[in-house]
Amino acid sequence: MGQELQIDKEAFLARHWQRKPLLLPGALPGFSPPIDANELAGLAMEEGIESRIIEQCGPDWILQHGPFAEADFQRDAPWTLLVQAVDHYIPEIARLRQLVDFIPSWRVDDVMVSYASDGGSVGPHYDNYDVFLLQGEGQRLWRLGQFCDADSPLLPHDELRILQNFEQEQEYLLNPGDILYVPPGIAHWGIARGECTTFSIGFRAPRISELVSRFTDQLLASLEPERFYHDAGLETVTRAGEIRPRDLERVAAQVQAALDEASGNHWFGELVTEPRYEHFPDDDDLAEARAILADAPLRVCLNPAAKLAWQHEENTLVVFANGDSGVFSDALLPLQIALCEHGLLAGDQLTSATGNPQGMQWLHYLLESGCIYVE
């Protein structure tokens, strides 16, 4: 694709990211969608691909999960087909993520693609993640509303989170190549004007409860089990059974001391690279890839479904691959950056990687984690 958003990236991050919506009209002039409605329907008919159809029948909203049959796409009421992680299967859609490469790549979740019949919608709702809505074929009217949170009233439904009240503040009609950025918590309501497709580049944000859980898991694994609460210099009890403010101060101080001793932050990289959909190679594929890697591979390519990140620590490169972590020499850092930036290694870079034991160890690690494939 090779296109990039013509925006002031620093200004966007300062003024809009996680703050307020932004319309980018004509963001991709002459945009030709890499998938059409029929191809999208074909993906939704496959096992293992997450898809949904949402249909509005009067005041009721009906949700159906895939895989679907052809008959499921013949409907009278307005309806929408949504297919998750289409970027995992179609390289041209995976390249849409390059539009937002100024945002940390480990924040990207997936590219969802939706098709809607005339009037099709998923209702007024809000999300807990950032999303860039790229209009494909046709037009979609987007209505933006109030800020919402967990206390915002919803219509009764087992699975859909449709707002009971929608307070419209803005309205935009998107044409092919237009992009609308919507931050978390902002109510939005897209309605198809004729048949249309939309490409949604979504960003994951781990729950704070997940961060605390992973941090404490690591902390508990490192704490000495025979270390106990202590209270030397204890004051005389004056009221039987009381837990005194001074007792609580000691507890807080000792817990804080334990927190301050926590070392290592690899838990974070492992958390944010955990794949929602697993694409690990089977034994036969892995054996074939190893043989190619040991011979003369033409290129090493990043799997579109890979969740890959890294940290640079003192003399070491920590690689996070699909929820796992490995430690390597930081001499591999230029190759790691190149793989993350361009999605492949070839020529001199590949020769450099395969020409030394450290590089081969790194490539095998990425291969076994499902992050790369070889050709």
Q: Give pLDDT, residue 284.
A: 86
Q: Give pLDDT, residue 110.
A: 95
User: Are both 17 and 146 inside the same structural domain?
Assistant: yes
Q: Give pLDDT, residue 1.
A: 46
> Which amino acid is residue 141, in one-letter code?
L
Give residues with Cβ within 8 angstroms of 316, minimum separation 6. 327, 328, 329, 330
- The residue whose two tokens read 């890979």 is 306
Is the four-CA dihedral 12, 18, 23, 25 of positive or negative sign? Answer: positive
pLDDT tens readout for residues 359-371: 999 999 999 999 9
User: Are both 216 and 198 inside the same structural domain?
Assistant: no
CB 190 within 8 A of CB 25: no
Is the four-CA dihedral 5, 7, 10, 16 of positive or negative sign? Answer: negative
Count of alpha carbons within 13 Å of 213, Cβ hemisphere only?
Answer: 7
Over residues 318-331, mean pLDDT: 96
The percentage of residues in the chain with a pLDDT greater than 70, rounded to a whole number, is: 99
| Tokens linked to 117 | 């019949």
Other C-beta atoms closer than 10 Å to the C-beta of 170 total 14
For the CA atoms of 285, 347, 89, 181, what is the dihedral angle to 10 degrees?
140
User: Are both 57 and 146 inside the same structural domain?
Assistant: yes
Q: Is residue 117 part of a domain?
A: yes
Q: How confident is the model at residue 2 (pLDDT cuts 50, 70, 90)?
A: low
User: Are both 250 and 164 inside the same structural domain?
Assistant: no
pLDDT tens readout for residues 211-265: 999 999 989 988 888 999 999 999 999 999 999 999 999 999 999 999 888 778 9
Other C-beta atoms closer than 10 Å to the C-beta of 242 total 9
What is the separation, in whole angstroms, between the first and last Cα of the chain? 22
CB 210 within 8 A of CB 135: no
CB 56 within 8 A of CB 123: yes
Q: Is residue 235 part of a domain?
A: no
User: Are both 20 and 136 inside the same structural domain?
Assistant: yes
User: Are both 164 and 18 inside the same structural domain?
Assistant: yes
Q: Give pLDDT, residue 58.
A: 86
- The residue whose two tokens read 């794949």 is 275
CB 284 within 8 A of CB 290: no
Over residues 103-120, mean pLDDT: 96
What mean pLDDT value characterizes the chain? 94
User: Are both 199 and 211 inside the same structural domain?
Assistant: no
User: Are both 147 and 293 inside the same structural domain?
Assistant: no
User: Are both 301 and 365 inside the same structural domain?
Assistant: yes
Residue 259: domain span: 207-229+244-263
Q: Is residue 129 part of a domain?
A: yes
pLDDT tens readout for residues 168-214: 999 999 999 999 999 999 999 999 999 999 999 999 889 999 999 99
- The CATH number of the domain where 114 resides is what? 2.60.120.650
Q: Does the pLDDT value for residue 281 go beyond 60?
A: yes
Give residues with Cβ within 8 angstroms of 84, minimum separation 6. 49, 50, 51, 110, 112
Q: Does the pLDDT value for residue 286 go beyond 60?
A: yes
Over residues 324-340, mean pLDDT: 96
Q: Give pLDDT, residue 3.
A: 67
Count of domains for the chain: 3
Over residues 122-148, mean pLDDT: 97
What is the Cα–Cα distance from 68 to 38, expressed in whole angstroms? 13
Q: Does the pLDDT value for residue 4 go beyond 80?
A: no
Q: Is residue 236 part of a domain?
A: no
Question: Count of residues for the chain?
Answer: 375
- The CATH number of the domain where 309 resides is what? 3.40.366.30
Q: Is residue 238 part of a domain?
A: no
Count of alpha carbons within 13 Å of 68, Cβ hemisphere only?
Answer: 23
Q: Is residue 88 part of a domain?
A: yes
Q: Is residue 237 part of a domain?
A: no
Give residues with Cβ within 8 angstroms of 27, minimum separation 6. 5, 6, 7, 99, 134, 177, 178, 179
User: Are both 211 and 274 inside the same structural domain?
Assistant: no
User: Are both 196 and 222 inside the same structural domain?
Assistant: no
Q: Is residue 42 part of a domain?
A: yes
Q: Give pLDDT, residue 278.
A: 75
User: Are both 149 and 33 inside the same structural domain?
Assistant: yes
